[in-house]
Structure 1
Amino acid sequence: MDRLSPSPLPMFNTIPAGKNPEIILMGKNPIQNISITSAVGDVAAVSSESTTVTDFNDAYDIAKFPYSFLLDKRAPIQQIDFTGDKSIKGIRVTYRKRDHTTVSVVHGKKPPEGSPCLKLTDAEIITLVAGNAGMTCDGPVKAILQLKFCSLNKDTSEIKTSPVFGNPSRDPPLFYAAGPVMAFMGKSTPEYLLSLALVMADGPVDEAGL
């Protein structure tokens, strides 16, 4: 089986017209070398009369990058809840903010209470994401079928591997990406997580944003 790795990570450093790059990237909460992976899944999906497709970008909508970076850079993700067994029908991502509060956002079908989840401590960061994308079993929909994660505890150097979320089958092509995960991007409908891209830092992020 071929292993499909993302294309080289393009720099995610667009500066809005009229804004000072030094203020945006080197202000009170600096972060350098933010990049995004290639998207996997149905990257061409658009809304139709029967289905609404939503494009999401948590780096922009939640972290407010490139204007700032409101998330805790050392451990931006607290928890990810999942729903769906034949595919990833939806995720709820709970982000840590730098003011010690949290904010949650749902992409796709809302996971019910008690759903399978990935929990991370305030010393842990996701360092690798792997999964499968392809046609779902319950309809002609191209979507994210499976996700699995590795995380690093920065205090103890312990590496953890998560269970498989979604479809346990490995038949569709595998995708993976390595690097500290800051946030998620992609496309979703009310019933499916159609595509996914990862917003990453090119190296471990410390308190200074380096």
Structure 2
Amino acid sequence: MDRPSLPPLPIFDTIPEGMDAEIVLMGDNPIQHISVTSAVGDVAAVSSKNTKVTNFNDAYDVAKFPYSFVLDKRAPIQQIDFIGDESIKGIKVTYRKPDRTTVSVVHGKKPPEGSPCLKLTEDEIITLVAGNAGMTPNGVNAVLQLKFCFLNKATSEIKTSPVFGNPSRDSALFYAAGPVMAFMGKSTPEYLLSLALVMADEPVDEAGL
């Protein structure tokens, strides 16, 4: 029997209540509407004597949001490299800046050269992320699988990526739709423990939304 699809993850506004949006969203071309999905995976993980847990927020650390947004708003993600077969052990995200330079960050175990990857052109933006999160064979609560849909805004062509990580669908399904601007979550040196998506409400152009 097919399992029923779960509803999309809830989203919430990242502008703090009572704070002036003109102050929060500085810059010549501010992004006006940003939302963040609820995290999936081990959202409660903390460092222990044996394992260091790192909290990452690329929207803040890389894009400098909410005080600015130093990435290319139209197509902020250039490439995502993956490592892991029974789970997503790590990702390397390469972000694109408006001047066409890039900045890369690794979350979890570093994927080696030649790892499976998702490559996006300057016209392409991720519009949907789906996957599974749950226990690995080693008993670690982590992100097991990721799959992406992405849109070519020049041609309106929609493409689907291969499955990265564990191809099984036995664990809980998650998915979220909307242009992906950056990633947040928790990781260790060996696993991508949890993941949340920083998303825009609709495709972004040079003027913001």
**Conserved? CA contact 1:6–1:38, under 8 Å:** no
Q: Which residue of the partner structure matches residue 25 of structure 1?
A: 25
Mapping for residues 48-59 of structure 1, pairs under 5 Å: 48-59=48-59
Deviations, residues 125-181 of structure 1 (Å, cap 9, x unaligned): 0000000000002x1100000000000000000000000000000110110000000
**Conserved? CA contact 2:26–2:66, under 8 Å:** no
Q: Which residue of the partner structure matches residue 192 of structure 2?
A: 193
Q: Which residue of the partner structure matches residue 123 of structure 1?
A: 123
**Conserved? CA contact 2:87–2:142, under 8 Å:** yes
Offset of residue 206 of structure 1: 1.2
* TM-score (structure 1 length as normaliser): 0.94
Look up the SS of the partner of 1:60 in the other structure.
helix
Letter in 1 for 2:157: E
Letter in 1 for 2:78: Q
Mapping for residues 40-189 of structure 1, pairs under 5 Å: 40-137=40-137, 139-189=138-188
Letter in 2 for 1:150: C
Check 1:166–1:16 CA distance in 2 against 1; reply closer, same or farther (3 A cut).
Answer: farther
> Partners in 1 of 2:79 and 2:136 — Cα distance?
25
Question: Could you tell me the percent identity over the aligned residues?
Answer: 79
Gaps of 5+ in 2: none
Letter in 2 for 1:10: F
Offset of residue 204 of structure 1: 1.2
Gaps of 5+ in 1: none
**Conserved? CA contact 1:56–1:185, under 8 Å:** yes
Check 1:209–1:53 CA distance in 2 against 1; reply closer, same or farther (3 A cut).
Answer: same
Number of equivalenced pairs: 207
Look up the SS of the partner of 1:3 in the other structure.
coil
Q: Which residue of the partner structure matches residue 201 of structure 2?
A: 202
Q: Which moved more, 1:23-32 or 1:197-206?
A: 23-32
Look up the SS of the partner of 1:59 in the other structure.
helix
- Cα-Cα RMSD: 1.6
Letter in 1 for 2:96: R
Offset of residue 24 of structure 1: 4.0
> Partners in 1 of 2:109 and 2:159 — Cα distance?
27
> Partners in 1 of 2:192 and 2:152 — Cα distance?
28
Offset of residue 26 of structure 1: 4.8
> Partners in 2 of 1:27 and 1:97 — Cα distance?
15
Moved segments of 4+, more than 6 Å: none
Offset of residue 27 of structure 1: 2.6
Offset of residue 25 of structure 1: 1.5
> Partners in 1 of 2:171 and 2:122 — Cα distance?
34
> Partners in 1 of 2:191 and 2:17 — Cα distance?
32
Offset of residue 16 of structure 1: 11
